[in-house]
Structure 1
Amino acid sequence: MSTIFFTSDHHFGHKNILKFSERPFADVAEMDEALIQRWNEKIKPEDEVYHLGDVGLASSGKLRKILDRLHGKIYLINGNHEKSAQACHTRFEWIKDYYELVVKDDEFERGEQLIVLFHYALREWNASHWGTYHLYGHSHGTLPDIDTSLSFDIGVDCHDFYPLSYEEVKAIMKTKNWKPPFEKENR
């Protein structure tokens, strides 16, 4: 049985991300190896991974070698640094700018949970007032989390450089203080 995972902003091969995001690695080679190791610790070959952009800034040849080492079926949401990833398009199940994923989950009223996947943070998204989740990347943990919003930064800089499973995402969302707008007290 496969598991669904989410992640973003690996920036494989990107030297400057070490400085920009204050990543705790000595160099790009160490970073890339750590990111590959942490990915493969959690993800099995049959798992599905939704990557929300900025896979890598290495040459397409180098990036392809990295992608071939990663477990799972990878679905890519375009970020703002995808030139090399697009050249490796055959490694991805698909590449899209935006996606609305429906996950079967009996804990929800309709037996499913909708998750809006986009590289950038949104303030509102499809059915956000009904409890739809929104996952994003791009900001590398620089945007403050909004406790009353069912969204958060799924990027590796926010999660000890690991992807998160659907169950981990759901657990984080359960800690939020979100209330449906139609249930708020009248003012």
Structure 2
Amino acid sequence: MSNVFFISDHHFGHRHIIDFESRPFADVDEMDAYMIEKWNAVVGPQDKVFHLGDFSFLNKEKTKRIVEQLHGYKYLIMGNHDRGRTRSWWLDAGFDEVSEFPIIYQNFFILSHEPMYMNKHMPLVNIHGHIHGQKYESAQYLNVSVEHWDYKPIEFAFITNKVVPSEEQ
């Protein structure tokens, strides 16, 4: 049986993100290798990963080499830093599916790069990235930026246990 995972904001090849987000790496080579290792430690070859944007700052050849190393079926929802490239560029770089827009997953989760406006009456949860180490204090938002999860994709089962209210409540 395959599992589903979510993650965002790797910024592969982006040396300035180390300082911007106080990432604990000496350089981008160390950061990129660590993030690939963390991904593959939890994601199996048959699993599906939704990457919620800002994947790589590298050229297509180097990006493709990283994508090829990562386990699973990879679905990119383009982030603000991914938009300088076309959907077909990302497909050529190795993603299995690419969306330029947020998507609804299982009729309850809005998957987007940037957090979306959610009023308290909306019966949905926004799984997002973009804001890195920050997060909203609301059960309607879950930030899956790498900084919150030790650079590992988060399993959907964990998310549903965390954000979907049980009937006993």
Same fold (TM over 0.5): yes
Corresponding position of 1:117: 111
Aligned residue number for residue 42 of structure 1: 42
- Separation (CA, whole Å) in 1 of partners of 2:28 and 2:86: 18
CA deviations 1:134-185 (Å, max 9, x no partner) are 101011022x4223x321211101111111000111232158xxx9xxxxxx
Q: Distance in 2 between matches of 1:62 and 1:33?
A: 13
Which of 122, 141, 153 lines up with 1:129 in the alignment? 122
Cα distance, 1:128–1:25 mapped onto 2, change above 3 Å: farther
Q: What residue is the counterpart of 1:182 in the other structure?
A: none
| 2:6/2:52 contact within 8 Å kept | yes
User: Following superposition of structure 1 onto structure 2, how do residues 25-36 of structure 1 map, counting pairs within 5 Å?
Assistant: 25-36=25-36
Give the match's secondary structure for 2:110. strand
- Deviation of 1:129 after TM superposition, in Å, equals 2.3
The answer for unaligned runs of 5 or more in structure 2 is none
**How large is the RMSD of aligned CA atoms in angstroms?**
2.1
User: Which of 137, 146, 156 pairs up with 1:166?
Assistant: 156
TM-score by length of 2: 0.87
Match of 1:94 among 90, 93, 97: 97
Q: What is the TM-score when the length of structure 1 is the normalising length?
A: 0.79
Instruction: Say which SS state the counterpart of residue 96 (structure 2) adopts.
Output: strand
Q: How does 1:1-187 map to 2 (within 5 A)?
A: 1-82=1-82, 83=84, 86=87, 87-90=89-92, 91-96=94-99, 97-102=101-106, 114-124=108-118, 129-130=122-123, 132-142=124-134, 144-147=135-138, 149-173=139-163
Identical-residue share of aligned pairs (%)? 33
CA displacement at 1:81 relative to structure 2: 1.2
CA contact (8 A) 1:53 1:79 kept: yes
Question: Greater CA deviation, 85-94 or 35-44?
Answer: 85-94
The change in CA–CA distance for 1:128 and 1:160 in structure 2 (over 3 A counts) is farther
Conserved 8 A contact 1:8-1:54: yes
Unmatched tracts of structure 1, length 5 or more = 103-112, 180-187
Distance in 1 (alpha carbons) for counterparts of 2:162 and 2:29: 31
Q: Which has the higher contact order (CA 8 A, sep 6+)?
A: 2
